[in-house]
Structure 1
Amino acid sequence: MRIEIWSDVVCPWCYIGKRHLEEALADFEHRDDVEVVYRSYELDPSAPEVPVETTEEALARKFGTDVAGVRELMTRTDAPAAAAGLIFRHGEAPHARTVTAHRLLHLALDLGGPALQAELKEALLAAYFTRGESMGDAVVLRRAAVGAGLDAERVDAVLASDEYADAVAADIAQARAYGATGVPFFVVDAKYGVSGAQPTEVFSQVLATAWGEAHPQVQLVGGDAGACGPDGCAI
């Protein structure tokens, strides 16, 4: 079973939703048969490559308020984040475009499959949300990628080019085709869509439903009767 997750590395609900899915998977008896792949989505493709303001300042400008007002809004994710075991400190993080982070996530998928990609995804989210580091800083991105296990030379090559930009664009186009208007957006077996950081129980229900449909069980009726098998026939 494959789960594809459209998300951005600067989206608080994406981090919270990731934890909710992980909790559901931890209790799912077929966890070893589930593949999780992260897909790209840019919340603000107009953000500058080189940041000129903090996340708080950018949001204040967007919503027509001040930094104090934005800080109050941002506290709304504090409780659900804490419940998921996360503490956010990203308010003063630089506001930058995230396309390069997504390109590195595609590199990770190519180099080591979903497992390596998941390592990098977690490293990037932690860097931004728990340490307030810039997702537009090549030094930060390189440190996260190499620390997660990606080949340093390949990381440098991607950082110095626009490699995987087409893959990022394709992911975003697919999200639109699915009708996703925000992230996180989860697609299970290309059949079930889950929008937002739903509770763990919702993910558990979707996992069970999708698995059951992909692996139907035959229902026996009529009870026992005469039959033959490899060891002979019942007489």
Structure 2
Amino acid sequence: MKHKFAAAVMAAVMTAAGLTGCMEKKQPASSKKSTETAVTNSAAENDTMPKGEFVSESLELVKLKYADVPDLESGPELSISDTDAKPGEIAKVTVSVKGAADKWSMCGIHVTYPEELECQITDEKQYNAKYELGSAVYGNSGFVAMDWRENLMEELVREHQRAFFFTTMFMDSHGKDGDIATFFLKIPEDAQVGTVYNLGFFYTDSDMFRDLEGNLAFEKYAFTHMKGGTITVR
């Protein structure tokens, strides 16, 4: 009975976090037009983005969504590892969190990578991404990861980016600090030594990083303190 309940709750989390949206083959333009316009306009006014790197305009949506939410002095910080691999090899990319030990209960997060790379999957039909769980999610009640290959948002297509998504939740324990999960991206066979592939986060308005009380300030801190990573070809 417990397993059935956990599966039902996990399905609800997946839906709430937008996982099913990544699987849809078609999405009405009207359903996202207002959001995309707001994000684009806000991003156009921001001149602090690093030059030469893909920094998602979608992260500007965070400022709009949480504009009236109080700021915390400290909280969860999500990050992506810096790693390296040779041409044709599989790079290991780890997403981690700190500042949230025994405080967070569920998450739904998108990670971006250049379209030249290939996310390793375990299921050709559902695009389930290959992963290894880290210590931060020990005792989780369910973990799902998928590569986003259909119905990519306009920004990702324009910037030649792809993304994978993961979601997890807890019932009998709480999320820890440390590594959440490691994912696997293949480097092109013809990649030039010294090439640096940037990895980042892509925010949708249904993504989440929740604490036990559902405190929006906690979630705001998480989505305003995310640090991308890199893969360097050696």
Structure with the higher strand share, 1 or 2: 2
| TM-score, normalization by structure 2 | 0.22
| TM-score, normalization by structure 1 | 0.22
Greater relative contact order (Cα < 8 A, sep 6+): 2
